[in-house]
Amino acid sequence: MLDAVVNPLKLQLATPYHYFDFSILTKYTFTTTSIVIKSIALFLAPVWFLSFLDFSKLTKGAILLVLSGLMQLYSLQDVASRSYILPLEWSLTLTLTGMVLLIPAVLFLIGGLFGGAKKAITSDPYNIPDDESNPEESKKDEEIL
């Protein structure tokens, strides 16, 4: 809806990151709102999709990191070369989405790295079941004898 009301951007930006200057953001408020709304949708889509897959946290983090990098590199190429295969608004949306996707990517990577360390630290190296803590296992042992 906002894209229909707003004229296409005709800015000459060196990189897509130059748009995110406060003076430009406030000058083009409807376009900025449109970029933010599209970025939220593009941010939620891969995170939501990955929540259904049974990958490790480390794999999810790597996927989001690669996706973030590809989004930012594509928009950087599109804006710097002034080819504008996508409209400038969509290139700026990809830039913002790529920057924000770095947050869950890093969190997944840290969770994946420290999750394995936590499991290694908290596991019992001798695997001796405690009769008082798990009565079902002690019943199974008695049945075998």
Question: pTM of this prediction?
Answer: 0.78
What pLDDT does 130 receive?
59
Which amino acid is present at 127? N
What pLDDT does 136 receive?
60
Span 37-70, pLDDT tens digits:
999 999 999 999 999 999 999 999 999 999 999 9
What pLDDT does 57 receive?
94
Q: Give long-range contacts, CB 8 A cutoff, 24+ apart: 63-72.
A: 64/101, 64/104, 64/105, 64/108, 65/102, 65/105, 65/106, 65/109, 67/98, 67/101, 68/97, 68/98, 68/99, 68/101, 68/102, 68/105, 69/98, 70/98, 71/95, 71/97, 71/98, 71/101, 72/98, 72/99
Proportion of the chain above pLDDT 70, given as a percent: 86
Q: What is the mean pLDDT of residues 9-23?
A: 91
Domain boundaries, the chain: 2-144
Question: 50: closest CA among 67, 36, 37?
Answer: 67
Q: What is the mean pLDDT of residues 78-93?
A: 92
- The mean predicted confidence, pLDDT, of the chain is 87
Span 121-134, pLDDT tens digits:
777 777 766 555 55
